Amino acid sequence: MPCTKPFSISLTICKSTVETVHSCLNFVEGMEIANLFIKPLQIGNLRTRHNIVLAPLAGISDYPFRQMCREFGADLTFTEMVSIDGLLYDNGATRRLLTVHPDEEPVGFQFFGSDPELFGRVIPEVENLNPAVIDLNFGCPVRKVVAKGAGSALLKNIDRMRKIVEVVKGATKFPVTAKIRIGWNQEMIVAEEAALAVEAGGADAITVHARTRSQGYSGHAQWEYIARVKQALKIPVIGNGDVFDAQSAQEMFRTTGVDGIMLARGALGHPWIFSEILGEKGDGATSPETSVERRFQIMMKHYRLEVEEFGETVALSRMKKHFGWYTHGLPGASVLRNQIFRAKEFQELEEILESYRKNNIHELAH
């Protein structure tokens, strides 16, 4: 009800009204992201439902993880990064990374390598798998990838980077994209030069992770270089780095002008980040801090999907890192994680979580 008494005597009476107004303003601010920035993303002949993309994450982006993110609104997702060399030599484990289920389109494939000729030989062989997008990794900072002249090593060989894009573009009918970092180190920032080379090679879009190779995943993402790439290019530019919630997504859109955002670490233990950014109020879109019960339900559903896909023994091993992310920030999280890591089967996990809920009911209510 609106306040009708004089202002000087109505501050206490109107406290709940003020809180409601603040709540409404926060809701409107959240919806502003969807209203102003969320839109379809056109990548070659692919048109996505919206422009929030799930990144390819090594050791993480399997079918169960992609499905958990899709449940909360994700559209374009990617398989794990795949080695061109591994595919060439018919490595069964490598090929299994490209397994896509009929119910999860669109899914893109990301490849890494350093030899344009090998890309030209291998890419036609994956055409029958119908990837939504073929993405080229020019940003991975991992030492064993860089040692082979691939990933972010190509930031020091931009001519070869462009050649790889050209060869892949000529070898496939599917959209071709690339992911880069802004440079090798702070003394060798090549974001615009590399991005222009990718565009000149024929890429349909580019993702820019706003860190250098030497930063790894530490320090702050330098979004100003994403903005420079966006100003320099005609193809869609997707920003990546330090987006962990709706507010940081909104800030990246506002300050860089990007066409889309790629989520990586922000989705770990937090697949409902897509609902938050998209402004949806679907099941599970609540904050994890206020819905521990729901967080556990999501975590166990993720685990069940892993069991269905890989079997219980492998699933338990694969899920350990996810358990750590899902329980991050909870009271007594380290003790809980230790108990979870020692669990041998699904039922034991359920008992551990139920015991945790009972023993921490008062802390979780605050």
54: phi > 0 → left, psi -120 to 50 → alpha, else beta; which? beta
Position 330, amino acid: L
Residue 16, CA distances (Å) to 10, 19, 249, 287 in order: 11, 5, 30, 22
32: phi > 0 → left, psi -120 to 50 → alpha, else beta; which? alpha
Q: How far apart are CA 263 and CA 167, in angstroms?
A: 28
Residue 87, CA distances (Å) to 20, 90, 98, 210, 250 in order: 57, 5, 10, 29, 39
Q: How far apart are CA 47 and CA 233, in angstroms?
A: 19
- The DSSP bridge partners found for residue 63 are none
> Which of these, 288, 243, 287, 281, lies nearest to 263 by C-alpha position?
243
260-263 sheet: strands from edge to edge: 52-54, 260-263, 237-240, 205-212, 176-183, 134-138, 107-112, 77-83
Helical pair 63-71 and 292-310, crossing angle rounded to 10 deg: 140
HSE-up of residue 170 (Cα within 13 Å, Cβ side):
12
Residues annotated as catalytic (active site), given as ranges: 140
Q: Are 64 and 274 in contact (CB under 8 A)?
A: no
Give every CB contact of residue 315 below 8 A, 6+ residues apart in sequence: 303, 306, 307, 309
